[in-house]
Every structure is written in C-alpha cells, then in structure tokens.
Amino acid sequence: MGKKIISQRRGRGTSTFRAPSHRYKVKALHKKYDEKEKEGVIKGKIVDILKDPARTAPVAEVLLENNEKINILAVEGIKVGDEISFGGAAEIVQGNTLPLGKIPEGTPVNNVEAIPGDGGKYIRSSGVYGLVIAHDDGRTVVQMPSGELKTLDSDCRATIGIVAGGGRREKPILKAGKRWHMIRSKAKYWPIVRKVAMNPVDHPHGGGSRRPGKPTTVSRNLPPGAKVGLIAAKRAGRK
C-alpha cells in the first residue's frame, strides 16, 4: 500500500505547509492612487523602519501630509526623519515614487507596478533594482534584475533607488539549523530530497536505481498519485 506523495500533502494546505501569514505585518505597496498624485506631488515623512518576516527587505512606515500612514519598501540610503515624495512632479531622488513615464532613462527603480494602481509587483527583494531603458508612446521598457526587458504602461509607478537589505546572501549560512529557521518563516518546502532517492511508496520515481525508471513527461489526465515530473509538457530535452 502506498501513501500520499509530497505534492498531494502540500496541496491539502495543512498547517505543516501553510505560510504563517498571521505573523506578517504589512503588504508594503504604493499608496492608493489619486488624481492629485498624477501631476502634483504628495509629501511624507519616514517615521519608522520595520522588519517583516514575510519579506527579505525592511519596510518603511511613512506619515503623509494628510496624517495618513502607509508602509512602503525601504530603499538604500533612507532613514527615519527623511522626507519623500509621491507623484509626477516629485524630484528624481532615491525614495521618491513617480510614474515610469516621468523617470529618466538609466535610473535604477524598484517596486514597479504591473498595471497602473496595483501597488507594485516587480523588483521587491532585498538588494535588487531594475533600470528604465526607454520610453515610447505611452509605454516604458524596464530591465528586470534577471536581464529580461519588460514593456509596461508609462503610468505604472515605481520607486527610485535600490531595495534596502543588499548583501543578505553574501554571508555564509554555515549550518543547516540556521537555514531551517530562515525557511520556516515563509513555509517553503525544505529540505528538498531527490525523488529518485525515495522508496517506491513515497514517490513514483523512487526505488531501485538513480534513474526514475519511467518517462518523466506525464499526461495531464493521470491520477494524483502518478502526476509528477513534467506534467503535460509540450517538449522536453535540449532544443
């Protein structure tokens, strides 16, 4: 008799695999979009820097001029007491948030929106940044940290600067216990055991040798216990 494989147990969504979202503090998005921000400027003051277990970068708590408090991703070089601005008329200095169409080419940016007003979807990890490459007829090309070029609406907002917390991955972890605590806060699957190293009751690729023993490209219609590997792949191997 077999048993449920790891992908099935994760899919049930039990507490073992569920991220501890009750410990997460804030979403750290751009402020809600309003018409004043489009051509004018809204100012705010940084009142605190927070550590959020949900993310690798620190979070800045900002008090706006209308006494509203928001939380944004902190960028390198800002500190408590600094003044930052939001809007199309804001200056091109680190920490300010502007539409992509108002940012000069070659400027490093982070927390870029995918569609105008969504609060920021791209370039949010510690120490990363993108580059504004070109503007053309209401569209802006942004180079992602991976090197990919992405064309976005010029009304999408972005924060100028590099996300704070860089150098996080330069320090060696040294022992598995420390890695375990790092992974645990986000409920990621770790440690990852090779499936060919398992027994046949644990995984379809387990048992016998160092090879799966069967094709790893499988049908979309297989039962859950066998649905592992390259599911409904159009092609596999080298081109």
**Per-residue pLDDT tens digits for 103-133:** 999 999 999 999 999 999 999 999 999 999 9
Kindly report which listed range (7-11, 193-197, 232-236) carries the lowest average pLDDT score.
7-11
Angle at 127 between CA 176 and CA 109, to 5 degrees: 155
Give residue 70's identity as a one-letter amino acid code.
Answer: I
**Where do the domains of the chain lie?**
1-17+189-239, 22-160
CATH superfamily to which 1-17+189-239 belongs: Ribosomal protein L2, domain 3 (4.10.950.10)
Q: What tens digit of pLDDT does each residue of 155-169 get? A: 999 999 999 999 988
pLDDT tens figures, 188-211: 778 889 999 999 888 999 998 889
Q: What tokens does 156 get?
A: 């999408």
Least confident of 13-22, 148-157, 217-226: 13-22
What fold characterizes domain 22-160?
Answer: SH3 type barrels. (2.30.30)
Average pLDDT estimate for 181-191 = 83
What local confidence, expressed as pLDDT, does residue 2 receive? 66
DSSP string, the chain: -----HHHHHHTT-TTTS--GGG------PPPP-HHHHHS-EEEEEEEEE--TT-SS-EEEEEETTS-EEEEE-BTT--TT-EEEESTT--SSTT-EEEGGGSPTT-EEESB-SSTTS---BS-STT--EEEEEEETTEEEEE-TTS-EEEEETT-EEEES-BS-TTTTTS---SHHHHHHHHHTTT---S---GGGS-TTT-TT-SSSSS-SS-SEE-TTS-GGG--SEET-S--S--
Gap between the Cα atoms of 30 and 56, Å rounded: 18
Stretch 28-33: mean pLDDT, rounded? 89
Average pLDDT score over the chain: 91
